[in-house]
Every structure is written in C-alpha cells, then in structure tokens.
C-alpha cells in the first residue's frame, strides 16, 4: 500500500505529464493549425529551390501572316556552386562542350556564396544532351526561349530587337514589349536537408503564360521591293544614309519602312547606334522643294490665286528681304501650276508673300508638321516649325520653299497622303491586329482620321499640278510605266556647323503617289548626302518609280490609260546666275 505521501507524488508526476502533453499539444496546434504558413515557408526555403520559367515571346507577323520575328526554345545551363564537389574537374569536363575557358568556368563553380549562376544560355541541343548525360552534381539545364528574325535585315528598323532576357529594346519589340513578353511561371526543385538534389523536378509548378502575337500593316513583299531599291541608290550614290516610307494613303497603313545603313537583328550584340536608328522617325532635315506642295495647297485653299494666274520669276534672280533669291534655272513668266511643276523658288516665294506669314504657318500646322504623327514606334521626333512671332525678316522667303523648318520622312508621307486621298490627314499606323498565341483575334485596329486639310476641289487641282511635275517638270524620272503618277522633287542644302548652307552636302528627296485617279500608294524617298548627282529628281525619283512599278504589279492593279503629255512648257532662256553663299543651289529641283 502506498502511503499518502507516495500517492501525492504519483498524482503530481501524472499531472506533470498531463500538463506537458497539454503544452506540447497546444504548441503543435499553434504551429500546424493556427500559424502554419511561417514554418511552411522556412521548410520550402530549406528543401525547395524556385526557378523562374520564361514564357515564349509572342511572334510578330506581316499583314499576310508571314513570320518576321519568332521565338524558339533552346537549353541553358545553370549551377548551384554550393553542391559542386570538385570545381576544377567539373570545369574541365564542361569547357569543351560549352566552348568556354576552364578558368572562367572554375571561378563560377567555386563561388559558394551564390545559389544560382548561369553557365551558358541557349546552347545547341547536342551540347545540352552531353551535359545531361554527365550528371554533374550541382549542374542542371533549363529550357529557355530565343528570339529569331527569319527574314534577317528585312524590316529590321520596324521590328527592332529583343535582348538576351527577351526584353524589347527597339522598334515594335520595345513599343509592345508588355504584350509580347507574356507572364513568367515558376518551378520548384526538391532538395534534401543538406540541399542536395533528390531527383527530377517536382513540387508545385505555375506554367508560364505565353505572349500575344502581333500582326503588322507591313507587307514583306513590298518591304523587299523598298529595301532593294533603297539599297541600290544608297550604294550607287555612296550616300551617308537613306530612308523610304510606303503607305496606303487612304488608311494610313505603313506597308514598308526601310533605312540605310541597316542591320541584322539576329546579331544585335554587334550593333552600333548609327545602324539601328530608324531615320524615318528620328532624323529631321530641311525638306527643300518638296515643301512647296504645302505652300501651293494653302494658296489655292485661301482662294487668293487663279490656276491661270502668271508670276514673273525674275529670270532666276530676285532681290528680296536684303538678299538675292535664286532659282536653279532661270524662268520668266510662269503660271501657278508651272511654278510648282518647274519648282521655282521665286514664284513660290511670291505666292507666300501675298498669303502672309500667318496663313503659311497655319498651313504648315494643318499638314501635321511641327508635331509627331503618333505612329506606334519609339523615337519619333516632332521636327521644328517656328510660329511667325519667331520668324526673321527673311523667313517668309525661306519657310515656303522648305528652309528654316525641319521635318521627318514619316511626316512627309502623312502630308502627301492628304493630297492623294482627297484632302484628309490620316494617322500613320503599324499595328493591324493583336492575336493570342494560338492565332485567335484579341483586338483589331482601324484608320484614324485627324482632320480635313484642304477642300476636295483644291485637292483635285493639286493632284493635276503634281502629276504635271512628273509629266512635264522636274520629276520625269518618276514616271511609272502604265500609270499616271504625281509627286514632287526636292534637293535641299544641309547646314554647315558654321550656320551657312553647304555647297557640297545635300538631301535629295521625292514624295509622290500612284495612280493619280485612284491612289493606292504613297512613297517618300530621302537620300542623305549622295555623291555625284544630288538632285531629288535624279537620285530619289527612280527609287519611287521602281518600287511603285513592282508594288502595283504585285497588288495586281490594272494599268490605267496614260493621258498624253501636255504641250511642253515654254521656258524663257536666261543666263546662269551666280550662286551666293547661303542661298539655295538646288532646292528648286
């Protein structure tokens, strides 16, 4: 029999065990039921390693669904240096497969402070298979997407390029990076208590969401025509640079856009800014005589002139505002259309002086100059169009003929489109559709009308004047066989660092549309510092002609009845005028 004291001790011991069990049970409930997430997170950190799974970047297609940019999946090699048993031996085995120096690999493999390091990105499948077969501790492989541009340099300035981590860096790749890149997923790698791999990938997985694909307004066939002809002019003229824009004048869709020099986006790591700059959007220049189209359209819109009205062009030399304005060729009396067709600086300035600075400036702004077009590509600039309050006493003799104002090629394309389509300014655009990765339509886009620029009646008069530029004037080399075309030449002097106009560096340009009766194409060509001939009518007009002819045939546009040329324009002979420093040499072309 237990004594009373012994019974008391037994009860106390049992009570102690009960209290201890109750405390342990309470703690377990607290850890596992009431507050489990903290400890689950700690356990995961110890036993799971999370790796980000990259989504497949969305494709970029042309308007006919031909691929311009796609993503393929290749294998990348990574390491957890803390689990590499012999860095030297491992580096020696990996070096010949990865084609990397042993010392570089050994340094990465020996870095015990890191839990994850890339050894090689997007290696060939054969090399990946060799590394898998080695079963090296701490070394593993992972599938990653790689950006590929199957057409090489074609439309490279429109597409831009994506970097090693699939981030858009230029062009459409940058502008729509958020849509293209998709959303990453996650995958967990099981480890034991000593953080050693214990098998294949396992545990919770979140699959990546692939990016959307974009359908552009670009037509790769028209793009090829444009690139071929631009490259030919660039090479033959040994030019500093060149650019071309091909647009649908009714919708504003950009069918082609190209620049020289160019680049292959597959080799983006070797690029320099000079090659991947999209000159159509980023480079401004004084347009020269192509800008006379604006002056003429404003003059007709204000109804201050008659089509048969004549202007005395001073036989090529006109003292005005303290200096002498020259034509590239001396003319006497010219009608309104002849002033534009023969690109008379003097006749154009006389038009502008009657209009006045405010009316000229209103026309400049109405045609979209001095403001970005809003095309969905990065890097577009506004150009310079100063208001009359900032003009000098000579500005009225400069702005109407394309001096003291700077423009971009895309602005010229937008402006001449408003002549081609009946007087409506439309926004240039590049993105036609957004699709999911299976090709289902997500969103489509439509043309954007900005405003009416000129009345329809004036537009018809301008079409005939610009057709005359090609049929009788300075743009004869722009004639497209089987079609009536319209356009304007331009040859502008560049400004030297000293602030005076150069006598050796020029911008040769041409802008036009075809067919006149039902315009399907607007084409703007700009060649920077051509050698040999530097006139827009001899350098840029042939590019327009060749691109237009091939594109119209490709689009199966039936040739129109060519109107017989009008009688030759009577041009009074005049002695050649001396060229003064700072005056236009060839802007009349």
Tell whether the torsion through CA atoms of 247, 253, 256 and 262 is positive or negative: positive
**444 catalytic residue (yes or no):** no
- Residues 113, 305: Cα–Cα separation, whole Å: 82
- Residues 345, 361: Cα–Cα separation, whole Å: 18
Angle at 92 between CA 89 and CA 98, to 5 degrees: 135
What is the chain's alpha carbon radius of gyration, rounded to the nearest angstrom? Answer: 35
Neighbours of 22 (CB within 10 A): 10
Q: Which of 172, 137, 185 is nearest to 257 (CA)?
A: 172
- Cα atoms found within 13 Å of the Cα of residue 555, Cβ hemisphere only: 20
Catalytic residue, chosen from 156, 289, 418, 509, is 289
Give strand ranges (E) for 36-124.
48-53, 60-61, 67-79, 117-123
Q: Which helix (H) or strand (E) holds 489?
A: strand 486-495
Residue 454 has what DSSP assignment?
Answer: S
Residue 145 has what DSSP assignment?
Answer: E
Strands 424-426, 323-326: pairing is unpaired
Burial classification of residue 21, based on how many CB atoms lie within 10 Å of its CB (0-12 exposed, 13-18 middle, 19 or more buried): exposed
Q: 571-577 long-range contacts, Cβ below 8 Å, gap at least 24?
A: 571/329, 571/331, 571/332, 571/342, 572/315, 572/330, 572/331, 572/332, 572/333, 573/330, 574/315, 574/316, 574/329, 574/330, 574/331, 574/332, 575/330, 576/316, 576/330, 577/316, 577/317, 577/326, 577/327, 577/330
Neighbours of 232 (CB within 10 A): 14
Which residues are known to be catalytic? 289
């Amino acid at each position: 029999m237990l004594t009373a004291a012994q019974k008391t001790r037994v009860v106390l011991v049992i009570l102690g065990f009960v209290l201890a069990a109750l405390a342990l049970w309470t703690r377990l409930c607290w850890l596992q039921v009431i507050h489990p997430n903290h400890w689950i997170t700690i356990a995961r950190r110890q036993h799971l390693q999370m790796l980000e799974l990259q989504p497949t970047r969305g494709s970029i297609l042309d308007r006919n669904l031909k691929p311009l940019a796609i993503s393929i999946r290749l294998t990348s090699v990574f390491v957890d240096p803390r689990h590499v048993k012999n860095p030297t031996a491992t580096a020696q085995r990996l070096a010949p497969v990865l084609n990397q120096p042993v010392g570089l690999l050994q340094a990465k493999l020996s870095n015990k402070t890191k839990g994850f390091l890339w050894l090689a990105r997007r290696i060939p499948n054969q090399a990946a298979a060799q590394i898998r077969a080695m079963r090296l501790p701490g070394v593993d492989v992972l599938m990653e997407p790689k950006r590929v541009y199957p057409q090489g340099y074609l439309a490279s300035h429109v597409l831009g390029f994506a970097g090693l981590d699939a981030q858009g860096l230029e062009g459409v790749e940058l502008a729509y990076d958020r849509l293209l890149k998709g959303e990453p997923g996650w995958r967990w790698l099981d480890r034991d208590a000593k953080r050693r791999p214990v098998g294949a990938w396992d545990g919770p997985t979140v699959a990546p969401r692939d990016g959307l694909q974009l359908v552009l307004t670009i037509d790769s066939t028209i793009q090829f025509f444009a690139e071929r002809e631009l490259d030919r002019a660039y090479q033959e003229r040994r030019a500093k640079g060149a650019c071309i824009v091909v647009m649908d004048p009714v919708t504003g869709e950009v069918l082609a856009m190209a620049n020289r020099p160019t680049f292959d986006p597959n080799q983006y790591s070797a690029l320099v800014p000079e090659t991947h700059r999209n000159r159509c959007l980023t480079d401004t220049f004084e347009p020269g005589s192509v800008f006379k189209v604006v002056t003429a359209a404003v003059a007709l819109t204000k109804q201050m002139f008659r089509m048969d009205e004549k202007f005395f062009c001073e036989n090529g030399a006109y003292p005005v505002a303290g200096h002498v304005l020259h034509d590239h060729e001396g003319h006497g009396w010219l009608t309104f259309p002849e002033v534009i067709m023969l690109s008379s600086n003097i006749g154009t300035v006389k038009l502008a002086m009657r209009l006045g600075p405010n009316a000229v400036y209103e026309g400049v702004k109405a045609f979209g100059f001095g403001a970005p077009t809003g095309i969905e590509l990065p890097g577009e600039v506004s150009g310079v169009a100063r208001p009359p309050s900032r003009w000098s006493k000579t500005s009225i003799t400069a702005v109407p003929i394309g001096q003291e104002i700077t423009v971009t090629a895309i602005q010229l394309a937008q402006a001449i489109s408003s002549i081609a389509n009946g007087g409506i300014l439309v926004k240039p655009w590049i993105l036609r559709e957004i699709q999911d990765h299976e090709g289902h339509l997500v969103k489509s886009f439509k043309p954007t009308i900005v405003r009416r620029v000129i009345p329809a009646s004036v537009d018809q008069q301008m079409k005939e004047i610009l057709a005359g530029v090609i049929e009788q004037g300075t743009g004869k080399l722009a004639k497209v066989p089987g079609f009536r075309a319209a356009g304007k030449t331009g040859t502008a002097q560049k400004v030297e660092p000293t602030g005076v106009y150069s006598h050796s560096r020029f911008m040769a340009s041409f802008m036009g549309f075809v067919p006149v009766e039902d315009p399907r194409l607007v084409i703007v060509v700009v060649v920077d510092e051509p050698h040999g001939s530097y006139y827009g009518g001899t350098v840029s007009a042939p590019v327009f002609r060749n691109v237009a002819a091939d594109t119209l045939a490709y689009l199966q546009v039936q040739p129109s009845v060519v109107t017989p040329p009008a009688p030759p324009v009577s041009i009074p002979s005049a002695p050649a005028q001396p060229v003064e420093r700072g005056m236009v040499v060839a802007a009349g072309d």
